[in-house]
């Protein structure tokens, strides 16, 4: 098995424009247990806006700047897990994925990584991701802007 996980691949990914089947529920796995997060329950948590987000999609053009709104990923994780955790994996229903270090999330408090539900003040459509990971400082060809988030795995 390779030590280089697939989420560090250079940009060779054709973005999938078509939402996968299924609903927008997210399964959160933590501490050997799991819970289902529905978009409505994410919307009932404290929302934060991050302005001036650009989707730097090398090869398929840049879009934005957008204002995304949603739940900071670090706040969501800490809601379920009090003890230290090292890494979180974000996986979509079409098999796209990325991972982020806890340390990285805690550092980016000004422009936090979001589980975004709104774009420019409107709820996102399923085509736009519906629940979409937004990593405001990412410059790797939008490889961390995971649309259709369906699973979050916390690694301790
Ligand atoms: N679930 C999922 N998210 C994804 C992708 C994908 O294929 N599946 N492609 C990524 C890539 S490579 C790009 S460039 C952007 C494109 O975002 P857009 O469709 O909003 O322009 O989505 C990112 N997020
Ligand atoms: Mo991309």
State the pTM of this model.
Answer: 0.93
Reduce the DSSP state of residue 142 to 3 states and report it. Answer: coil
**Measured from the CB, is residue 148 less than 6 Å from ligand 1?**
yes
CA distances from 101 to 77, 83, 141 (A): 12, 15, 19
Band of residue 156 on the pLDDT scale cut at 50, 70, 90: confident
CA 56 / ligand 2 centre spacing (Å)? 7
Name the residue with tokens 């809601």: 79
CA 141 / ligand 2 centre spacing (Å)? 4
pLDDT, position 125: 97
Q: What is the DSSP track for 1-30?
A: --SS-GGG--S-PPPP-SPPSS-S-EEEEE
CA 129 / ligand 1 centre spacing (Å)? 9
Q: Tell me: the pLDDT tens digits for 87-125?
A: 999 999 999 999 999 999 988 788 999 999 999 999 999
CA distances from 109 to 17, 21, 103, 119 (A): 30, 33, 11, 19
**Measured from the CB, is residue 41 less than 6 Å from ligand 1?**
no
Closest atom, ligand 1, to C-alpha of 94: 1
How long, in residues, is the chain?
156
């Amino acid at each position: 098995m390779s030590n280089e996980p697939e989420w560090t691949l250079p940009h060779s990914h054709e973005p999938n424009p078509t939402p996968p089947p299924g609903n927008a529920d997210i399964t959160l796995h933590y501490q050997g247990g799991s819970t289902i997060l529905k978009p409505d329950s994410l919307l009932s948590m404290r929302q934060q806006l991050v302005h001036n987000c650009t989707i730097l999609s090398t090869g398929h053009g840049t879009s934005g700047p957008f204002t995304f709104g949603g739940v900071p990923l670090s706040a969501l994780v800490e809601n379920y897990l009090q003890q230290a955790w090292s890494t979180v994996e974000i996986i979509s229903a079409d098999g796209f994925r990325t991972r982020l270090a806890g340390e990285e999330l805690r550092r980016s408090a000004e422009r936090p990584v979001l589980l975004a539900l709104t774009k420019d003040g409107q709820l996102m459509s399923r085509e736009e991701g519906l629940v979409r990971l937004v990593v405001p400082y990412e410059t790797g060809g939008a490889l961390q802007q995971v649309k259709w988030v369906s699973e979050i795995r916390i690694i301790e």
